[in-house]
Amino acid sequence: MLGRLNHVAIAVRDAKSAAKIYGKAFGAEISEAVALPDHGVITVFATLPNTKIEFIEPLGEASPIAKFVERNADGGIHHLCYEVPDIIAARDQLIREGARVLGDGVPKIGAHGKPVLFLHPKDFSGALVEIEQT
Ligand code: CO
């Protein structure tokens, strides 16, 4: 059920300028900035051969990453995103195994136009986990 690492997300104050060093110094392909009002973030992706780095910036007052960015003024690793073939089956199995799903448990459409869910960091060794349906 656990698939590829889709991306590692880094939360920052300014996603575009954070991504710049990956484009300039590493020569990675950098996406345009995309606002996701449903998630309260602006995202910019750096594409690597085997995964992506997602830079997220708070969008709006109620952004779920506002506090994180406040506490980590220079930015910091925010979550890991794993691919799953069937997000509902994955969710139900994770719940059966005692993992907590954040929010109302209903998948939202994520940055790639695919359903995503977030899982409680306390159930995953302190790391916030996002699952995305492939
Ligand atoms: Co993500």
Contact (CB, 8 A) for 6 and 52: yes
Amino acid identity of residue 61, one-letter, is E
Contact (CB, 8 A) for 18 and 41: no
Q: Is the pLDDT of residue 17 over 90?
A: yes
**C-alpha of residue 24 to centroid of ligand 1, in Å:** 23
Contact (CB, 8 A) for 44 and 55: yes
54, 83, 130, 132: the catalytic one is 130
Q: Is the pLDDT of residue 18 over 90?
A: yes
pLDDT at 1: 82
pLDDT at 15: 97
- Give the pLDDT band (50/70/90) at residue 120: very high
Q: What confidence tens digit (pLDDT) does each residue in 76-112 have?
A: 999 999 999 999 999 999 999 999 999 999 999 988 8
Instruction: Report residues near ion ligand 1: CB below 5 Å.
Output: 9, 54, 81, 130
**C-alpha of residue 54 to centroid of ligand 1, in Å:** 6
Q: Residue 84 corresponds to which tokens in the numbers above?
A: 């799953």
Round to whole Å and give the CA distance between 8 and 82. 9
Active site residue 130: yes
Domains located in the chain, CATH noted: 5-133 (3.10.180.10)
Contact (CB, 8 A) for 119 and 131: yes
**C-alpha of residue 114 to centroid of ligand 1, in Å:** 11
Q: What confidence tens digit (pLDDT) does each residue in 36-75 have?
A: 998 899 999 999 999 999 999 999 989 999 999 999 999 9
pLDDT at 96: 97
pLDDT at 125: 97
**C-alpha of residue 90 to centroid of ligand 1, in Å:** 17
pLDDT at 88: 97
Mean pLDDT of 21-26: 94
**C-alpha of residue 25 to centroid of ligand 1, in Å:** 23
Our separate counts of H helices and E strands in the chain read: 3, 9
Q: Quick one: 97 exposed, middle or buried, by C-beta within 10 A (0-12, 13-18, 19+)?
A: exposed
Within 10 angstroms of residue 16's Cβ, the number of other Cβ atoms is 14
